[in-house]
Chains A and B, each alone.
Chain A
Amino acid sequence: MRQFLARRIFHSLISLVGLLVLVFFLARLTGNPGDLYLPLDSSIETRQAFTEKHGYDDPAYIQFGRYVRDLLSGDMGESVRKKRPALEIVLEAIPVTLMLAASAMFLALVGAVIVGARAAYRPGGVFDRVASISSLVSASAPDFWIAITAIIVFSVHLQWLPTSGLGGPIYWIMPVCVLLIRPFGLLVQVVRSSMLTVLSAAYIKTARAKGVKEKSIVFVHALRNAMIPVITVAGDQAAAMANGAVIVETIFGWPGIGKLMIDSIVQRDFAVVQAAILVTAFVILSINIVVDLTYAVLDPRIRKRS
């Protein structure tokens, strides 16, 4: 197990390096940051001076060399726009996103397992049908539409919740709900279909024949075996969220990594883009490792081989 973990971490580091190279060169294909930073009316000379000062006119590989040198000494560069160290800006933004993503993912997963398992328990029943249709609806709802509608309904008309912003628990209700609605719908579907396959398997029939209580069949025996595809999908969703719950952060004014990333990409603030990707990639790779470890825990055969 320890060896597996060590190898997995080593491989993840390689991915990280690959990612960095890719991001660095791709970002530089998207134009000169000076054009966006400087006022429209500035002269060609001013533009040139700015470009030279920040080294944007050097060939990309020389810029990359500089970047790697700085990176090795722990310097991720400075934001052109915010004139502060890029890493500092990113580290301010990441906790908000992680807290938001963790609460939404936790609630979505728990909710989906309960609803999905319940639906699979009596397939074709009223609960199953309602759950199937409504989870599909929730998996296919445009989140920004829901977010703005929710603000209009719950904040402006009913005045129950604050429109937006960071604050006490009630500030979390709308962002978390909007964020979990799609993963929840998706996960209910996955849990349900995975449970159905497992419940039809022979050993469950055996357990039933032996007279093991129905509830413990569903929630102990079957669920454990049904979790592999669920964990895969959940991991994927969590990774996507760690990359920023862009829409939710944008609309509700949460200063998270997704909003930071989109702003920096649009403004060509390369240092911030790179630092942000480095940090989120670290989180995502960790999630992937956790997912792989979970496979091993859930399925002894995989564990044995690893």
Chain B
Amino acid sequence: MTSRLTESVAVQPKVQRSVGLWTMLWNDKFAFVSFLFLVVMVFLAVFGPWLLEQPATKLNLRLRNAPPFSLDNGWLYFLGADALGRSMIARLIVASQNTLLVAASAVAVSLIIGGALGILAGYFNGRFSTVIMRFADIIMSFPSLLIAVVVLYIFEPKVANLVLVLSITRLPVYMRTARAEVLEIRERQFIAAAKTLGASHSRLITRHIAPLVVPTLTTIATLEFAFVMLAESSLSFLGIGIQPPEITWGLMVAQGRNYLQSAWWLSFFPGLMIMFSALALNLLSGWTRIALDPVQRWRLEITNQQAS
């Protein structure tokens, strides 16, 4: 559905502006469900820990690894219980706060810093660019595991430090993509035209170039969102990620993998949550990019002279 809408826009760039946003959202059922899902997730992430702290941390060895899809122990145990008999539902909801916080901040930090550096590197394609890109090379060839161990040894495995580790390691993606895009955009006629009209560097970058790079970067960012959640999970798997008493979905998957043969739900449900969030975000962002973004529309109509 999304895709159909997406493509009808792409192929015939006539958007019916008279149609309201809500109607457009309602018309695309995938996007609509994604939107609902994300709203609920954000709501739970904000208020969940406050409401469900107790059942998420209370030990109850009698219910250890209680199987899912049974209401015998109350609705909190509908998705079963973990190895310490804690409600899976409560833990999934409490964990959503850290998970979304880590992923969103890490993606935002690397998007902003990486994007900015990449745009500058592409625009001033000289010595400055070289320095920035070699910097990206260093980060890329630096094993993220070492950064993780260094940060977690010297500081603590806290949320903020995890964000630091994840955002540093993901910088090069944005830097390289932004630079590559800018290199291409610079060559377009309208930039040359703006230059001859005497536009300043900052005006060229912020008004003409950045708006064209941002859509690509946001596409990457939404894909990266899942990547960051999984990277965080992998760190937990290797024993250098976030540690209890803090919880994230990634940590739950990593801890639950020990029980894959006896209690699959321990790692399955948090894995599913990661997947659903990533899906919802990507579907919604695809829709947003086309339906809401005037820059993108303008781009689709105007830049027909150039391939991107």
Q: Is chain B in direct contact with chain A in the complex (CB below 8 A)? A: yes
Cα distance A104–B177 in the bound complex, in angstroms:
22
Cα distance A264–B140 in the bound complex, in angstroms:
19
Instruction: Closest A residue to B289 by CB, please name it.
Output: A193
Cα distance A202–B181 in the bound complex, in angstroms:
19
Please give, as numbers and ranges, the residues of chain A lying within 8 Å of B147 by CB-CB distance. 26
Q: Is the CB of B4 within 8 A of A19?
A: no
Please give, as numbers and ranges, the residues of chain B lying within 8 Å of A250 by CB-CB distance. 238
Instruction: Closest B residue to A288 by CB, please name it.
Output: B137
Q: Does B278 contact A (CB under 8 A)?
A: yes
Cα distance A295–B138 in the bound complex, in angstroms:
20
Q: Does B300 contact A (CB under 8 A)?
A: yes
Interface of A is mostly: helix
Mask for A1-37, Cβ within 8 A of B = 1, else 0?
Answer: 0000000000110111011001100110111000000
**CB contact between B138 and one of A18, A123, A228 (< 8 Å): that residue:** A18
Interface centre among B137, B223, B226, B250 (most CB of A within 10 A): B137
Please give, as numbers and ranges, the residues of chain A lying within 8 Å of B5 by CB-CB distance. 124
Our count of residue pairs bridging A and B at CB distance below 8 angstroms stands at: 200
Q: Is the CB of A26 within 8 A of B150?
A: yes
Report if A142-B274 is in contact (Cβ < 8 Å); known contacts: A15-B134, A124-B7, A186-B223.
Answer: yes
Q: Does B119 contact A (CB under 8 A)?
A: no
Q: Is the CB of A246 within 8 A of B300?
A: no
**CB contact between B187 and one of A31, A148, A301 (< 8 Å): that residue:** A301
Chain A, 15-63, CB within 8 A of any chain B CB: 15-16, 18-19, 22-23, 26-27, 29-31
Q: Is the CB of B234 within 8 A of A143?
A: yes
Stretch of B14-22, B61-69, B252-260 lying at the A interface: B252-260
Q: Is the CB of A202 within 8 A of B304?
A: yes
Cα distance A285–B3 in the bound complex, in angstroms:
37
Q: Is the CB of B137 within 8 A of A30?
A: no
Q: Does A128 contact B (CB under 8 A)?
A: yes
Mask for B224-252, Cβ within 8 A of A = 1, else 0?
Answer: 00110110011001111000000000100
Q: Does A243 contact B (CB under 8 A)?
A: yes
Please give, as numbers and ranges, the residues of chain B lying within 8 Å of A246 by CB-CB distance. 145, 234, 238
Q: Does B23 contact A (CB under 8 A)?
A: no
Q: Is the CB of B143 within 8 A of A197?
A: no
Q: Does B282 contact A (CB under 8 A)?
A: yes
Interface centre among A12, A124, A137 (most CB of B within 10 A): A124
Interface residues of A (CB under 8 A from B): 11-12, 14-16, 18-19, 22-23, 26-27, 29-31, 123-124, 128-129, 132-133, 136-137, 139-145, 148-149, 152, 182, 186, 189-190, 193-194, 196-203, 205, 225, 228-229, 232-233, 235-236, 239, 243-244, 246-247, 250, 261-262, 265-266, 273, 276-277, 280-281, 284-285, 288, 295, 299, 301-302, 305
**Other than the known A137-B279, A142-B234, A236-B172, what 19 A-B pairs have Cβ atoms closer than 8 Å?**
A123-B3, A124-B8, A139-B227, A142-B250, A148-B260, A182-B230, A200-B11, A200-B13, A200-B304, A201-B307, A202-B304, A203-B307, A232-B176, A232-B180, A244-B143, A247-B238, A261-B143, A273-B146, A305-B125
Interface residues of B (CB under 8 A from A): 1-8, 10-11, 13, 125, 130, 133-135, 137-138, 140-147, 149-150, 153-154, 172-173, 176-177, 180-181, 183-184, 187, 216, 219-220, 223, 226-227, 229-230, 233-234, 237-240, 250, 253-254, 257, 260-261, 267, 271, 274-275, 278-279, 282-283, 300, 303-308
Can you list 8 A-B pairs, Cβ within 8 angstroms, ordered by A? A27-B146, A136-B278, A143-B234, A144-B233, A186-B227, A229-B181, A239-B141, A295-B183
